[in-house]
Amino acid sequence: MDGNKKVLESLKEIDLFSEMALISNDVSFTSLIALEGCELAILTRDKYLLLPDDNPAALGLKKLMIERKKRASDFR
């Protein structure tokens, strides 16, 4: 890798990225490089906010965000 690039995580099928921008309403500056062909789905903040609280996808996303926030705070 370049001097200013670093592999933070390798994603697998159905993994998510930049999900914290959904709750923070910030612009995500995440860059990804696909090592093989892939398909992406985009969930906008507007669509995310329309999901009912008991929607399984919304619940899974909230759980993931809580786990990632905890992991991030462990690095500080």
So what's the pLDDT on residue 5? 76
Upper half-sphere CA count for residue 27 (Cβ side, 13 Å): 1
Assessment of whether the complete model's pTM goes beyond 0.75? no
- Output the pLDDT for position 62: 82
pLDDT tens per residue across span 34-71: 888 988 888 888 888 888 989 888 888 888 878 877 87
**Residue 57 class from Cβ within 10 Å (0-12 exposed, 13-18 middle, 19+ buried)?**
exposed
CA distances from 21 to 3, 24, 30, 45 (A): 26, 5, 10, 8
20 and 67 Cβ atoms separated by less than 8 Å: no
